[in-house]
A and B are shown apart, each in its own frame.
Chain A
């Protein structure tokens, strides 16, 4: 069969390449046809010209031609004649005309061949989309045909010899875009990858190309094109149905070496699903935490510390909206339903210029768009949560929806935790995500996303915590032409918490906090030539924060109301970046982002005596700013540069330098991120944070790109991030700046990663040596921490070793093993107690001078897939897992507190025993 295809392809190529010669000697025809049967029309044309028509008489028996022509070229005449019919024609150099219906046998010259000349600027379209025969099963005829077909694109009159081919790569069955798929030609070597809309744009010299398409979770495919002018090629690819085979990153096969980007970790949902978790639920943040360079203070926390950055230095984007609290239930769960997710990308060193506002990383979470062809659903039942997803077309092939919901249904797990206060607690949460995509026309598409996550839990039966994230975004993608497109994004994001205490009616109170963020962003991508990829855009973001209010709860409450003044600010940025591919080996990406931050009134701003520690006592003056008045302005450039040099085909060196600025700070002086942490804007007294990162890495692929290895090292310096004076009060503090000090940080490390993502055994092994140090050396000696020397941050865990291994026994059974080892985290312990000022007091060691014991944990999971019949009512799978296989009691923290006059110590382990889970997943 294969030979036959090749032969056929060769023939088509011959045909197509010869047609252009045929064009020279083209005849014209004349005649009036009014509802003439096609056979009659054909014979008249044969009489006027040397053409010979070839067609299936049965197929054309209902085709009638109406045409008035006076010395019209044959092609034009035929094109007009067959306009609005399912028929196409092709003429070879022997003046044979092939007339066929649909794409099936249609060789190369679509009826739109000349349209570009008539319709002016609009690029030609190779019509490929609508012809998939409805009955095509499995690895379809459609794909075979599409692969075999030669697409001729463009009119042949090319300026400068360069043409731009653009289009979308979509999944055949669902019509969903394929993100991050690569489309490339091997000779000459050019390529690009699809963006978040599945859109690609390739500028190459005119000519014939054999384009290969590789992507995560799709079958490899190819398209043959002759590019004679700018044009569009929509590509539909098949989903890789057996997920256990060739799991991931085929698309990125050599991306490790050849890609420009460094410090980018990309995970797709299939990788995410394989990693065992504590509650049997796929958890993106947990998997992200297994990546080199990403740490957290402990198991109960989803606060990410990326390359020595604080937990507030990560921009977490969910389809373009900022998520302020990405976790449920103290941080045991991430707040994203895995069923709706498409991919997760973590930028940890070279952050593209389009992103800004956070120092350390960008975690971009993208959802699927929903099945554009048919209605389907999926779900799962786990020990703590259940989830369900529905998706389907609204208008077939044009618009689709996907909605996904998840909820917890018991406090079961809490009662299994070793901590007594957890056992007396209650917890419930849910999250809902929905996405609607609609293609208005070829040039315009709309994407609407909504997200809601809510938590309610009661801690030790007194205080009730509630918090919620609400976000929405609307994206309008507009293609100006093949070389330029834009995305306009409007986004809204709201995070609020509400802590109520009711037990004692006298003290009953309600503490509230809320942050709202509204943003508008325009991003443009411009592909002027194959050597340049230009991105530019502007964005503006309005913050509105209610920093806290404490109000009485109930009539008997004696709580005095205390409400902090609102904070407002506008953060704007403009950016441009250009990726220049000098040669195949050398490419450089230069980017500049300029951000501007204005803190706005109305607000009262305290002014402090310079040179003295900021305390209430050193307030000199209070300046009142009216509504909308600018009370502080900060701005500055953010450089984004990266360089790649290919040493050989299998190895490369990359380097990058990044500067980032951050104008919003998360205030948390607890070890772990708590839902009651607050976000504070920079203002007249709090400077923005600035970070610089230099990194360099070596990348090598072995064994035909099946094994990727990389060594990346980085040095990072952080300026003016917030740290806290001893005993700082963060909640309801009217002058928070008195408790905050500007800290300087430095972080450095080496990350070694070996990854094998194909074959029976796959997974990755990483080792990281990293340090993260903080220094508070500003202000008066009293403000200095540890005498102004560098000290380890809360998450400084120098050695970290992670193994994620999957072994596939058969297509239906596979197992996963996690192993994690890391140095214990630093803590501050009391050294001694002493009696002073009529009271016993505790003397602490230097901050973070001690460490909890080393951490290690192993998890095991077994995935059992249902049978692999493609067509059945529902596909199902079971996941059986054991978290913390050895039951090691890894200490999360060690603390001392006074009880009955004595100071007692405790060691807290979060998951101090093996936790078995069983999850049932289904898809229909």
Chain B
């Protein structure tokens, strides 16, 4: 291991955009050591506001999630330029460049087509005014999960007993898009996005075991912001092959106001958001697809034997405590008997196999239908 660069600099990271029609959410954090295994340090108690060029300011408040600042539901003037102003508790000030408001055209539709190799989810949009041209998308996907194993037992008070509270039968798992999805229509004679591949799945993707939903979010970008995301994508996502390109530095449009030595990372654009949600059920997909459950590793379940190793086996209570006691992630499923109907143990599975809340929430999302 080479000497890590112990940069004492903890640069401000600004993640978010100014929503011209709605609530603006900005997350402030700091860069941190490569070798650190924690989550990124949040920047709390900062003063964050949206400033209209030559006009008024709208304050963002830090909510219960530290480092996340939200505005009121705003409707900004689309012919003005706006910027984000940040003042940290240390007194450092940062501002993004004044940026014109891009009004995002609505998503025409979100479609999906099964192919031989899997499923593609596509987004279509257009702007008759030819004013958008640069598009960025994010998505949030949610799918139902139903564990294969439903335990009838639990380990409580040092014994195996009938379960008192059943695990939820259904949960909903949610994931955010992590890769940068951008496209431009500048090569086309009309400002039309046709079947942009937003998400693709193989034929076995477990998201489609029951029901799946995707919320596509569309943003219009300025050319500068488009270039920023394109560069960031190349530098951090399309890297790591044998022919590693030489890496480069990317900062964005947020700059320190009172300290030239400071630096901020991130690009704060100003735009509206358009969203569209669709649902896909397993029954709509080709029947011959071998869709996985996501619980393949859980079957067949393991068995905890109480009659071995022989002779003589340790006390049953010890076996059970080490298998299911405090600190264990296993859960008893059902008793196991031998040929003479003697209890010799219990089948078991990890908590992840039986409790779907480990992978999502048991609270039915409000949009779920």
Residues of A within 8 A of B (CB): 459, 463, 558, 612-613, 615-619, 669-671, 674, 676, 724-731, 780, 782, 785-786, 794, 828-847, 850, 891, 894-898, 901-907
B131 within 8 A of A: no
Q: Are B9 and A832 in contact (CB under 8 A)?
A: yes
Q: Are A836 and B37 in contact (CB under 8 A)?
A: no
CA distance A753 to B114 in the complex (A): 70
B111 within 8 A of A: no
Chain A: CB-nearest residue to B230: A615
Beyond A617-B187, A727-B231, A842-B236, list 7 extra A-B contacts (CB 8 Å): A615-B184, A616-B187, A782-B228, A786-B249, A843-B11, A895-B244, A903-B34
List of B residues within 8 angstroms of A463 by Cβ: 242
Q: How large is the interface on B (under 10, 10 to 19, 20 to 34, 35 or more residues)?
A: 35 or more
Known: A905-B4, A907-B1. A832 touches B248 (CB 8 A): no
Residues of B within 8 A of A (CB): 1-2, 4-5, 7, 9-11, 13, 15, 29-37, 39-40, 117, 133-134, 138, 176-180, 184, 186-187, 223-224, 226-240, 242-250, 265-266
Q: Are B231 and A896 in contact (CB under 8 A)?
A: no
Known: A727-B238, A780-B227, A839-B236. A671 touches B1 (CB 8 A): no
Chain B: CB-nearest residue to A898: B240
- Point out the residue from A612, A676, A905 that lies within 8 Å of B243, measured CB to CB: A676
Identify whether the interface residues of B are mostly helix, strand, loop, or mixed.
loop
Q: Are B232 and A841 in contact (CB under 8 A)?
A: yes
Known: A832-B11, A835-B13, A896-B34. A782 touches B231 (CB 8 A): yes
- Point out the residue from A612, A782, A829, A835 that lies within 8 Å of B5, measured CB to CB: A829
Q: Are A831 and B246 in contact (CB under 8 A)?
A: no
- Point out the residue from A619, A676, A844, A906 that lies within 8 Å of B248, measured CB to CB: A844
Known: A670-B246, A838-B177. A617 touches B184 (CB 8 A): yes
- Point out the residue from A785, A828, A843, A907 that lies within 8 Å of B265, measured CB to CB: A843
- Point out the residue from B9, B36, B228, B236 that lies within 8 Å of A831, measured CB to CB: B9
Q: Are B231 and A834 in contact (CB under 8 A)?
A: no
Q: Are A828 and B248 in contact (CB under 8 A)?
A: yes
Q: Are B34 and A619 in contact (CB under 8 A)?
A: no
List of B residues within 8 angstroms of A840 by Cβ: 40
Q: Are A847 and B243 in contact (CB under 8 A)?
A: no
List of A residues within 8 angstroms of B228 by Cβ: 782
List of B residues within 8 angstroms of A847 by Cβ: 246-249
- Point out the residue from A613, A669, A674, A785 that lies within 8 Å of B227, measured CB to CB: A613
A561: shortest Cβ distance to chain B, in Å?
16
In the complex, 27 of the A-B residue pairs with CB atoms within 8 angstroms, ordered by the A residue number, are A558-B117, A612-B223, A613-B227, A617-B134, A670-B244, A670-B246, A671-B246, A676-B242, A726-B234, A726-B247, A727-B239, A728-B234, A782-B224, A832-B7, A832-B9, A833-B40, A834-B32, A837-B15, A837-B232, A838-B138, A841-B236, A842-B34, A842-B236, A843-B250, A844-B249, A847-B246, A894-B2
A743: shortest Cβ distance to chain B, in Å?
13
Q: Are A731 and B1 in contact (CB under 8 A)?
A: no
B219: shortest Cβ distance to chain A, in Å?
11
List of A residues within 8 angstroms of B186 by Cβ: 617-619
Q: Are B249 and A834 in contact (CB under 8 A)?
A: no
CA distance A657 to B117 in the complex (A): 62
Q: Are B180 and A837 in contact (CB under 8 A)?
A: yes
Chain A: CB-nearest residue to B246: A669
B183: shortest Cβ distance to chain A, in Å?
9
List of A residues within 8 angstroms of B245 by Cβ: 669-670, 724, 726-730
List of B residues within 8 angstroms of A905 by Cβ: 1-2, 4, 34-35
CA distance A459 to B241 in the complex (A): 13
B189: shortest Cβ distance to chain A, in Å?
11
List of B residues within 8 angstroms of A895 by Cβ: 244
List of A residues within 8 angstroms of B36 by Cβ: 833
Chain A: CB-nearest residue to B31: A832
Known: A615-B230, A727-B234, A727-B248. A897 touches B31 (CB 8 A): no
List of A residues within 8 angstroms of B11 by Cβ: 832, 834, 843
A741: shortest Cβ distance to chain B, in Å?
11
Q: Are B2 and A843 in contact (CB under 8 A)?
A: no
CA distance A676 to B1 in the complex (A): 29
List of A residues within 8 angstroms of B248 by Cβ: 725-727, 785, 828, 844, 847
CA distance A786 to B180 in the complex (A): 24
CA distance A325 to B138 in the complex (A): 45
Known: A670-B244, A834-B32. A617 touches B37 (CB 8 A): no
Return the 3 tightest CB-CB contacts between A and B, nearest first. Answer: A727-B234, A726-B248, A832-B31
- Point out the residue from B32, B177, B223, B238 that lies within 8 Å of A832, measured CB to CB: B32
Chain B: CB-nearest residue to A738: B230
Chain B: CB-nearest residue to A832: B31
Known: A782-B231, A831-B5, A838-B177. A846 touches B242 (CB 8 A): no
List of A residues within 8 angstroms of B33 by Cβ: 832-833
CA distance A896 to B245 in the complex (A): 13
List of B residues within 8 angstroms of A844 by Cβ: 235, 247-249
CA distance A785 to B251 in the complex (A): 12
List of A residues within 8 angstroms of B176 by Cβ: 838
Q: Are A619 and B249 in contact (CB under 8 A)?
A: no
Q: Which of A612, A828, A829, A898 has the most CB of B within 10 A?
A: A829
List of A residues within 8 angstroms of B39 by Cβ: 835
Known: A619-B187, A782-B224, A903-B34. A830 touches B247 (CB 8 A): yes
CA distance A780 to B238 in the complex (A): 22
CA distance A780 to B226 in the complex (A): 13
Q: Are A459 and B247 in contact (CB under 8 A)?
A: no
CA distance A728 to B266 in the complex (A): 21
CA distance A430 to B242 in the complex (A): 24
CA distance A901 to B35 in the complex (A): 11
A143: shortest Cβ distance to chain B, in Å?
58
List of A residues within 8 angstroms of B247 by Cβ: 726-727, 828, 830, 842, 844, 847
List of A residues within 8 angstroms of B37 by Cβ: 901-902
Q: Are B242 and A459 in contact (CB under 8 A)?
A: yes
List of B residues within 8 angstroms of A726 by Cβ: 231, 234-235, 245, 247-250
A507: shortest Cβ distance to chain B, in Å?
12
CA distance A671 to B180 in the complex (A): 27
CA distance A840 to B237 in the complex (A): 10
Chain A: CB-nearest residue to B176: A838
B196: shortest Cβ distance to chain A, in Å?
14
Q: Are A836 and B238 in contact (CB under 8 A)?
A: no
B161: shortest Cβ distance to chain A, in Å?
38
CA distance A613 to B184 in the complex (A): 14
Chain B: CB-nearest residue to A908: B2
List of B residues within 8 angstroms of A612 by Cβ: 223
Q: Are A838 and B1 in contact (CB under 8 A)?
A: no
List of B residues within 8 angstroms of A794 by Cβ: 246
CA distance A525 to B191 in the complex (A): 64
Q: Are A835 and B246 in contact (CB under 8 A)?
A: no
CA distance A906 to B4 in the complex (A): 10
Q: Which of A841, A898, A902 has the most CB of B within 10 A?
A: A841
B7: shortest Cβ distance to chain A, in Å?
5
B16: shortest Cβ distance to chain A, in Å?
9
Chain B: CB-nearest residue to A670: B243
CA distance A310 to B244 in the complex (A): 18
List of A residues within 8 angstroms of B187 by Cβ: 616-617, 619
Q: Are A782 and B227 in contact (CB under 8 A)?
A: yes
CA distance A898 to B35 in the complex (A): 10
List of A residues within 8 angstroms of B9 by Cβ: 831-832
List of B residues within 8 angstroms of A842 by Cβ: 34, 236, 247
